[in-house]
Amino acid sequence: MESPILLLIPSLIFSVLLFFIGFLGFMQNHTVIDLESEEIETENFDNKSYNKNVLNDKLLELFVDQSIYKNPDLKITHLSELLNTNRTYISKHINTEFSCTFSDFVNRYRIEEAKKLLSGDSSKTYSLNYISEKSGFGSMGSFMRVFRDSQGITPGQYRDRQKLKKENH
């Protein structure tokens, strides 16, 4: 307080900093103009349907091409990590787009895999436990329950019917 020069130094530093902050803000004015032009360009673009289509494509690639349903420990959190999204979004997406829960969605693929194995020429040599494991079910009990609920018959009955069909043709 005794020397006005000592008071002038922090005031000068503060003024210079304030000037540069204001100058940088002024220089960013162009981003607002760019944002307005981008909004005009994307007015006709339906972002939600694009995201749904991309997510559907990635989801089907994982299930059809990579057969991730064969992993008995598959969880929705693992799937959401693979798709780089959160589990709630994936769950809602499967519910609305495929009209089923995540478990039902996975089990559809597992049942189709089991039906292929049960219908194949070498199905007689496969035990139901082996088919259960190869289809991605965590236990024989869940395989039997889900298969019966889905197809109305047990896996053994399904195999017998497929065998009869082949013999009659």
Segment 62-76, tens digit of pLDDT = 999 999 999 999 999
- The Cα 95–Cα 104 span in angstroms is 10
Average pLDDT of the chain, as a whole number: 84
Q: Per the confidence metrics, is the pTM higher than 0.95?
A: no
Segment 109-153, tens digit of pLDDT = 999 999 999 988 766 778 899 999 999 999 999 999 999 999 999
Residue 67 region by backbone torsions, left for phi larger than 0, else alpha for psi between -120 and 50, else beta:
left
Please state the rounded mean pLDDT for residues 31-48.
50
